[in-house]
């Protein structure tokens, strides 16, 4: 449609009741279509998305949403949510859209004209799903595509009740120059950095098959999306004595390299050259004491995390560092650090870490293998609540006099 038609189109439909039957059924249908589709089965990230949208998970989300409702507090849809997803994580627009749709909102999603094959597959499946869906699911979603034009963003921002920006700091800063209506809410997902922590003595006690399994899970966390997802680890911190950590690191990354070769992971030549240039620069400008190169995998060992820079090329490059104890980690972390994947620590150790961080870093702590598993809790937000307005009801008559009034 023409740009001028968008406002009329978007004002033409109303928000739905949260977890409306038609939206729930559409989510389950999209999951089943993705699992069955021959093209989609070639993309692990699409199958992970389909698994997240399965009926059991939607039922679980609905139950969690009900627990957020109290007798005097009702969560209602915000209205129209404007989603601006990133290009480098093909599936994120569906996660964002679905949580907004399940909580009753209408959505308009901006996609880049330059789309990957997996995004095109998702769009085809989503169109088929919405075409078969009942109201209000069938009419509550609009997908638009344009480049870096300012005018469409201004129009859509002026119409929305919530704007969700996924992307780097520069993307967030650029879009924030476009104002929102005074009542509208904004949720941003800027540049983030993620890391792994592994307790070396616990790793050493693992049998061979469990070490292989852990390496395989680490591969899934890291190499999907070419290590460019915000939650993919780029730094591995080994905790223990120097002898323990070096032995564990050598064994672990040898197994990860085996996964890279077995899975036939291959970077395009340009990205491979970028990784090589970055590694050479890091060796010259950072406290790198050792460089280990495998096929498709580079490991740079740091002698200190002091002043560690968060820039990264992706594509299978890892920094590693050695600490005696997990509680030494907080002094090196900051607000940009998002996800910590872990292995070998007790619940008490992880809780002690969070208490010591005290909110200044890390929003997610999950076992290795779950870095890319999307959740309603993301970047410190509870998206089930972020996409809703809270309506308060005073159920009993109260004295209307102001507090402290006399007479």
Q: Is 23 within the bounds of a domain?
A: yes
The Cα–Cα gap between 321 and 240 comes to 11
Whose CA is closest to 239, among 194, 287, 203? 203
Residues 132, 233 within the same domain: no
331: domain CATH number?
3.40.309.10
Q: For the chain, how many structural domains are there in total? A: 2
Q: Is 407 within the bounds of a domain?
A: no
Residues 115, 72 within the same domain: yes
* pLDDT tens across the length of the chain (407 residues): 888 888 888 886 778 899 999 999 999 999 999 999 999 999 988 999 999 999 999 999 999 999 998 888 899 999 999 999 988 788 899 999 999 999 999 999 999 998 999 999 999 999 999 999 999 999 999 999 998 899 999 999 999 999 999 988 999 999 999 999 999 999 999 999 999 999 999 999 999 999 999 999 999 999 988 998 899 999 999 999 999 999 999 999 999 999 999 999 999 999 999 999 999 999 999 999 999 999 999 999 999 999 899 999 999 999 999 999 999 999 999 999 999 999 999 999 999 999 999 999 999 999 999 999 999 999 989 999 999 999 999 876 655 555 555 44
Question: Exposure string (b/e) for 213-249, b if CB count within 10 Å is 16 or more?
Answer: ebbbbbbbbbbbbbbbbbbbbbbbbbbbeeebbbbbb
The Cα–Cα gap between 72 and 172 comes to 36
Q: Is 359 in a helix, a strand, or coil?
A: coil
Residues 165, 307 within the same domain: no
Question: By residue range, what is the domain housing residue 185?
Answer: 3-191+382-392
Contact 84, 163 (CB under 8 A): yes
Contact 148, 37 (CB under 8 A): no
Question: How far does the chain reach from its first CA to its final CA, in angstroms?
Answer: 64
Q: Specify the residue for token string 């050479």.
A: 280
Burial of 70 (0-12, 13-18, 19+ CB in 10 A): exposed
Residues 104, 175 within the same domain: yes
Burial of 270 (0-12, 13-18, 19+ CB in 10 A): exposed
Q: What is the pTM of this model?
A: 0.87
Residues 217, 108 within the same domain: no
Q: Is 403 within the bounds of a domain?
A: no
């Amino acid at each position: 449609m023409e740009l001028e038609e968008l406002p009329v189109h978007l004002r033409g439909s109303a928000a739905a009741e949260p977890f409306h039957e038609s939206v729930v059924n559409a989510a389950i249908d999209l999951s089943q279509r993705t699992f069955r589709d021959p093209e989609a089965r070639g993309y692990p990230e699409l199958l992970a998305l389909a698994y997240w949208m399965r009926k059991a998970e939607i039922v679980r989300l609905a139950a969690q949403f009900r627990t957020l409702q109290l007798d005097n507090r009702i969560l209602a849809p915000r209205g129209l949510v404007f989603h601006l997803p990133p290009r480098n994580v093909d599936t994120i627009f569906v996660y964002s859209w679905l949580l907004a749709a399940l909580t009753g909102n209408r959505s308009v999603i901006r996609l880049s004209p330059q789309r990957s094959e997996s995004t095109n597959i998702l769009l085809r499946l989503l169109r088929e799903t919405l075409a078969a869906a009942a109201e209000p699911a069938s009419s509550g979603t609009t997908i638009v595509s344009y480049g870096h034009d300012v005018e469409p963003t201004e129009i859509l921002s002026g119409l929305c009740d919530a704007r969700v920006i996924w992307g780097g700091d520069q993307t967030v800063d650029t879009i924030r120059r476009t104002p929102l209506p005074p009542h509208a809410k904004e949720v941003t997902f800027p540049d983030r950095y993620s890391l792994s922590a592994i307790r070396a003595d616990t790793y050493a006690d693992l049998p061979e098959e469990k070490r292989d399994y852990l390496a395989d899970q680490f591969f899934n966390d890291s190499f999907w999306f070419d290590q460019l997802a915000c939650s993919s680890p780029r730094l591995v911190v080994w905790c223990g004595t120097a002898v323990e950590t070096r032995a564990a690191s050598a064994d672990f990354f040898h197994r990860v390299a085996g996964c890279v070769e077995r899975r036939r992971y291959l970077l395009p030549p340009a990205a491979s050259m970028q990784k090589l240039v970055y590694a050479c620069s890091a060796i010259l400008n950072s406290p790198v004491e050792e460089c280990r190169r495998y096929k498709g995998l580079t490991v740079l060992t740091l002698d200190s995390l002091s002043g560690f820079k968060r820039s990264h090329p992706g594509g299978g490059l890892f920094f590693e560092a050695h600490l005696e104890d997990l509680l030494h980690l907080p002094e090196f972390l900051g607000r940009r650090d998002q996800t910590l994947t872990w292995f070998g620590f007790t619940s008490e150790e992880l809780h002690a870490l969070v208490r010591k961080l005290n909110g200044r870093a890390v929003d997610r702590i999950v076992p290795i293998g779950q870095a890319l598993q999307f959740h309603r809790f993301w970047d410190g937000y509870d998206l089930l609540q972020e996409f809703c307005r809270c309506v308060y009801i005073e159920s009993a008559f109260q004295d209307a006099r102001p507090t402290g009034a006399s007479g």
